[in-house]
Structure 1
Amino acid sequence: MTTSTLTPPRLREFPLPDVGEGLTEAEILHWHVAVGDRVRDGQVVCEVETAKAAVELPVPYDGVVHSLGYPEGAAVAVGAVLITVDTAPEAGEVGEVGEAAAPPESGERKAVLVGYGVAPSRTVRRTRRTTAVTAVPAAAPVPASVVRAERPTAKPPVRRLAKDLGIDLREVTPTGPDGTVTRADVQAAAAARTAPAPAPEPAAEPVPGPVPGPVPTVVAVPGETRTPVKGVRKATAEAMVRSAFTAPHVTEFLTVDVTRTMRLVAELRRDPAFEGLRVSPLLVTAKALLTAVRRNPGINAAWDEANREIVQYENVNLGVAAATPRGLLVPVVKAAQRRTLPELARSINELADTARAGRTAPEDLRGGTVTITNIGVFGVDAGTPILNPGESAILALGAVRERPWVHKGRVVARQVTTLALSFDHRVVDGELGSRFLADIGAVLERPKRLLTWS
């Protein structure tokens, strides 16, 4: 990493890295340091939220924080300077333009320049943050360039609610102990924002001046709540639209008797090898999918539009769709075909837990080649799943229900489910897709095929 030509060598700039595949910006959730704090190489200095996950960023330098590039809540472009560290603070203070600054006079506090780093196709903005409230006279209005240093006190769930509702916590009147913002405070602020404004009193006389142009207005409708779409939900919406209108989707359905699979699930839950792990029909279905990929390797491929080629993958990087408070995430089990059943269970459990906690590492969201989603947990029998961009197949597992079924020549009650497979018809033709889906169903109908087909 090189330093800016306007920055002396002792001041090291740390730009926002590319923390996710295809991401261009991130939002600063929380600063863990302030100007003047001493930091060490590898210390987490801030938490940012990308379109896929919340990520903690460590600084790669030892020294003292010289400036913070953005306030909390700001959207930062990849490559913009997040933080500047003085790596030789014992050499004296450094001014805003890189010259050695004279020490402040007695009783005076230095204003710290907080720059909005240069980013492609963005306007350069700079604001000043003062470290002393007394620097602004009490009787004078606070200028817009002064960034409020105090961070409202609120629990993480309350902050998440405020973020989802588009509420700035700094504008909420706290009613909790010690000035803490509560969930009720956030909901009241949201209700107040959507409530119809009282009609203004007519002015005594018209004020001469230019006639303003038309101003777009948003009319609040009673009982209607509007939530800004951003972060994970925005990225998911864009990806699904891109996939739906780019890849020619074909969806096939297969209804399967999974009575033997449900017995196997019950046995595995009692097996010491799975102690402490959640075992569900999804686990066995994932293993059946991996077995079917081995028998039908053409399914583990993707369409390269730029080169007009089909890319065949050696490893099966299995994406497992997880519903989270932040939206749909698809963490990926890398080289899933190499894992034993207990190892696969552990990986799925860990990725699902971190996804729901909003702590999925960016590398765990990259590189998927085929995806599985369990819509059965919501009581849904079947659906038409949309492909993740860059993949050619996605399998949806429906609810397992007891149904009348012909078994050994008689109609009896059996555990039955419906599988839905969507695939990219540019890569996967009907024969390949049908054989792949049939193999998955065959394994779920007779799980011992996991051994005989190995």
Structure 2
Amino acid sequence: MPTYKQFPLADTAEGLTEADILSWHVKPGDTVAVNQIVVEIETAKAAVELPIPWAGVVTELHVEPGQTVEVGTPILTIDVDPDGAAAPAPAATPAPASSAPAEEEEMKPLVGYGSKAVVTQRRARKGAAPAPAPAAAVAAPPAPAPAPAAPRGGYVPLAKPPVRKLAKDLGVDLHALTGTADGGVITREDVERAANGTPVAAPTVDSGTRERRVPIKGVRKMTAAAMVQSAYTAPHVTEFLTIDVTPMMEFREKLKKSREFAGIKVTPLTFAAKAVCLAAKRTPDINAVWDEEAQEIVYKDYVHLGIAAATPRGLIVPKIRDADSMSLKELAESLTQLTETARAGKTTPADMANGTFTISNIGVFGIDTGTPIINPGESAILALGSIRDTPWVVDGELRVRKVMQLSLSFDHRVIDGQQGSEFLADVGALLADPAMAMTY
């Protein structure tokens, strides 16, 4: 007999409560193996691929791509015994009221995806009387619902799973509702008004509009919340420094020709990363953080360097762990790998956690300077402007030099103006003359 199991949306150990379904890697009828990737989801931090802990045949997908699903919600049903190899339980023997029924079993959480246990239930055989539910399993999820009817005209109402369940319980047809939330999403209030017979005014739509609305979710939602928190929690101070980086660019050309750096991509960001790590040792306040709850300033004797990266899903900040212990070549290799992973959308949530300092390279967009916002959990961020040919006075003579601007934003609770200025001056000196690193 078939043995059905439900695969719930896993807690990816980030403390998150929901995620968006990006794409399915399987469809009903597909045979899957243990730990095979079946779905890609997007949390508030990154895109994550989820493996399934069982082998079997997929019988049903419960969620459409694009929907937001709460953690613990069943998203897939699988038949783990499609050949009926397992011996069926005797139908005439009811399960004792004090223990879980034979058709129920506990699904062990995936390794690395939290510790929540989810109870699943096999579908009852046709014509068989339902087993009595024990007192300890009153809150267990019901058996998988039958496959929904084909959407009307291809239209799928936009609503979260809890709202869909409420509509089903109240007998409300979601196809007949017009969502009042952004993007036409149907809310709990919309369903309740429909159940009470209260009419819902359809929003006015200008057929000739040149606007489009995109729901705020995923990485964009997390980034916005973090930036607002930082801007209104940490008192920002921003300082600027313009420097002649001609010696740095000349040194870069020498490295390209050296055997040790053959095939290694060395960019101005590579030099900035090394300069930040060296300068942080002389100004440890830059690498400290304000702990509001403990009323302490935490000084960190390591640099987990964040690199702000623009990706199709929004701004993310992956980290280079222990960047202060790396050579220039190792930093260059790490930056290349970090960038490629971010552009491919494969940066994991763990890769973006627990940074101590961030660099934002706005110069790649042709921008000269800016006032960057500090990442929560850190105390400073450095923005690199574009490098331009600029008239510059050298030894009393006007020449054309390679010039760039640096801007440093820091938390004034942790870093005084003196420490911020000294750090920025050190970074500037190292970029203006890489030989200065010999003195640090």
TM-score (norm 2): 0.72
Alignment of 1:57-136 (within 5 A): 57-65=50-58, 68-83=61-76, 85=78, 87=80, 90-91=85-86, 98=121, 101-102=124-125, 128-130=145-147
Aligned to 1:282: 269
Q: Which residue of 2 aligns with 1:198?
A: none
- Alignment-mate amino acid for residue 307 of structure 2: V
Q: 2: CA distance between counterparts of 1:127 and 1:376?
A: 53
Q: CA deviation at 1:263?
A: 0.8
- Aligned residue for 2:255, secondary structure, equals helix
The partner residue of 1:324 within 303, 311, 314 is 311
Deviation at 1:420, TM superposition (A): 0.2
Name the amino acid aligned to 1:268: L
**Unaligned 5+ residue runs, structure 2?**
89-101, 105-119, 128-140, 159-182, 184-196
**Distance change (3 Å), C-alpha of 1:78 and 1:12:** same
For residue 399 of structure 1, report the CA deviation from its aligned partner.
1.0
CA contact (8 A) 1:398 1:419 kept: yes
Which of residues 296, 305, 318 is equivalent to 1:309? 296
Aligned counterparts of 1:403 and 1:243: Cα–Cα separation in 2: 35
Aligned position for 1:422: 409
- 1:177-197 deviation digits (Å, cap 9, x = unpaired): xxxxxxxxxxxxxxxxx9xxx
SS of residue in 2 equivalent to 1:372: strand
1:143-165 Cα shifts (integer Å, max 9, x gaps): xx3256xx9xxxxxxxxxxxxxx
For residues 393 and 221 of structure 2, the distance between their equivalents in structure 1, rounded to whole angstroms, comes to: 46
SS of the residue 1:287 aligns to: helix
Counterpart-to-counterpart distance in 1, 2:306 and 2:207: 40
For residues 418-439 of structure 1, give each alpha carbon's deviation from its aligned partner in whole angstroms, at most 9, with x where no partner exists: 1000011111111111111111
Q: 1:396 to 1:103 in 2, by over 3 A?
A: same
Q: What CA distance in whole angstroms lies between the structure 1 residues aligned with 2:214 and 2:8?
A: 30
Q: Give the alignment of 1:170-249 within 5 angstroms.
A: 212=199, 214-219=201-206, 222-249=209-236
How far the C-alpha of 1:296 sits from its partner, in A, is 1.4
Structure 2 residue identity aligned to 1:78:
V
Shift of 1:332: 1.0
Residue identity in the other structure for 1:91: A
Q: Distance in 2 between matches of 1:293 and 1:301?
A: 10
Picking from 42, 45, 52, the partner of 1:49 is: 42
Instruction: Please state how far the C-alpha of 1:393 moved relative to its aligned partner.
Output: 0.7
| Residue 61 of structure 1: how far off its partner (Å) | 3.2
1:24 aligns with 2:21: no
Match runs of 1:338-377 below 5 Å: 338-377=325-364
1:339-373 Cα distance to aligned partner (Å, 9 max, x none): 22122111111111221222212221212111001
Percent of aligned positions that are identical: 52
Deviations 1:21-64 (A, max 9, x none): 45332111222234454433321111112233222111233444
Looking at structure 1, the residues matched to 6 and 122 of structure 2 have their Cα atoms a distance apart, in angstroms, of: 16
Q: Which amino acid aligns with 1:48?
A: I
| 1:296 and 2:283 matched | yes
SS of corresponding position for 2:233? coil
Greater shift, 444-453 or 218-227, is seen at 218-227
Task: Provide the rounded CA distance (Å) in 2 between the counterparts of 1:370 and 1:383.
Answer: 17
| Partner AA of 1:30 in structure 2 | S
Instruction: Decide which of 143, 146, 151 is 2:149's aligned counterpart.
Output: 146
- Stretches of structure 1 that go unaligned for 5 or more consecutive residues are 1-9, 105-123, 131-144, 152-165, 167-193, 195-209
Letter in 2 for 1:277: I
- Counterpart in 2 of 1:403? 390
Question: In structure 1, what is the Cα distance between the partners aligned to 2:306 and 2:10?
Answer: 24
- Structure 1 54/127 Cα, relative in aligned 2: closer, same or farther at 3 Å? same
Cα contact 1:28–1:71 (8 A) shared by 2:
yes
RMSD: 3.2
CA contact (8 A) 1:51 1:231 kept: yes
Q: Aligned residue pairs: how many? A: 354
More displaced 10-residue stretch of structure 1: 14-23 or 232-241: 14-23
| Secondary structure of the structure 1 residue equivalent to 2:419 | helix
Distance across 1 between alignment mates of 2:213 and 2:78: 40
Alignment partner, residue 428 of structure 2: 441
Residues 1:39 and 2:32 aligned together: yes
**CA deviation digits over 1:261-292, x for unaligned, max 9?**
11112222333333333321111111101111
What is the deviation of 1:300?
A: 1.0
SS of residue in 2 equivalent to 1:268: helix
Structure 1 equivalent of residue 173 of structure 2: none
SS where residue 427 of structure 1 aligns? coil
